[in-house]
Structure 1
Amino acid sequence: MKLIKSLTLGLIAVSALTYSCGGGSTSETSTETAVTTPPPAAAPVSLEDKYKDNPLFIAGQAKTKEAGCTACHMVERKIVGPSYADVAAKYESTPENIALLTKHVIEGHVGTWGEIMMPSHPQLAPADVEEMVKYVLLLKK
């Protein structure tokens, strides 16, 4: 019986101590201020998203994929050849540059972007290549 009384008193003492140290109180007011997190910055818009509704972009993108250009070129990242955005940054969209780049695609070219040769693509129709070049030159960053 003494043991039960001792355990009960011990349990009451621990409960009282816990309550007095704030463990059981529900009416405390917080002195902390709420921290507001600023909204996340808007992600940069990719060139593909920027031009996705442009008819020149749509046709040119489809033709470059169909012709296999994407094996060596990406829109915003260099792989084997320069990115389309890098080409657009280097060349203004002028009739002279469109003709020059069309020639480079059809006949092949080396030296402008390093020592890796761009192979010739004589099977491509010049009108299709012109459309692809116009698409590439549209992709300025």
Structure 2
Amino acid sequence: MKKAGIVVAAVAALALTSGAAWADADAALNKAGCMACHAKDKKLVGPSFKDIAAKYKGQDATAKLMEKVRKGGSGVYGPVPMPPNGADKISDGDLKDAIALILKTS
């Protein structure tokens, strides 16, 4: 989600704070299979969204996390690898929106 971009970003930020945004993100994350390993507030196989938000607090980590989801990886939160998740599982737009909400989790 220069002057017009700032306005769009502000509107998007307001939209992302709503419960409907979480519902949309939850649906996308469930459909992609993310929720099989992640939860909002507790560690499952992978870290909780709350732990991810804390780790990247104050950073612009959206691009980094999008790349991590797309390529997969291991070692940041332990030895269990996260498999790569392509755009066929979750679209770039849905992934970006979900990451923005995850980073706002407290």
With the length of structure 1 as denominator, give the TM-score of the two structures: 0.56
Q: CA separation of 1:132/1:93 partners in 2, compared to 1, >3 Å: closer, same or farther?
A: farther
Structure 1 partner of 2:52: 87
Unaligned runs of 5+ in 1: 1-50
* Identity, % of aligned positions: 30
Q: Distance in 2 between matches of 1:135 and 1:93?
A: 14
Give me the whole-angstrom Cα distance separating, in 1, the residues matched to 2:57 and 2:21: 16
Among candidates 106, 131, 134, match of residue 100 of structure 2? 134
Write the mapping of 1:2-81 to structure 2, written as runs, cut at 5 A: 53-81=18-46
**Is there any run of 5+ residues in structure 2 with no aligned partner, and where?**
1-15
- Aligned pair partner of 2:68 in 104, 113, 117: 104
Query: Contact between 1:91 and 1:97, CA under 8 Å: does it hold in 2?
Result: yes
Counting helix residues as a fraction of each chain, which structure ranks higher? 2
1:11 maps to: none
RMSD: 2.1
How many aligned residue pairs are there? 89
Moved >6 Å (runs of 4+): none
Q: Greater CA radius of gyration, 1 or 2?
A: 1
Please tell me whether the aligned partners of residues 61 and 135 of structure 1 are also in contact (alpha carbons under 8 angstroms). no
**Cα 1:129–1:91, aligned 2, differ >3 Å: closer, same or farther?**
same
CA drift of 1:83 comes to: 0.6
Distance 1:92 1:57 in 2: 19
2:32 maps to a residue whose letter is: A
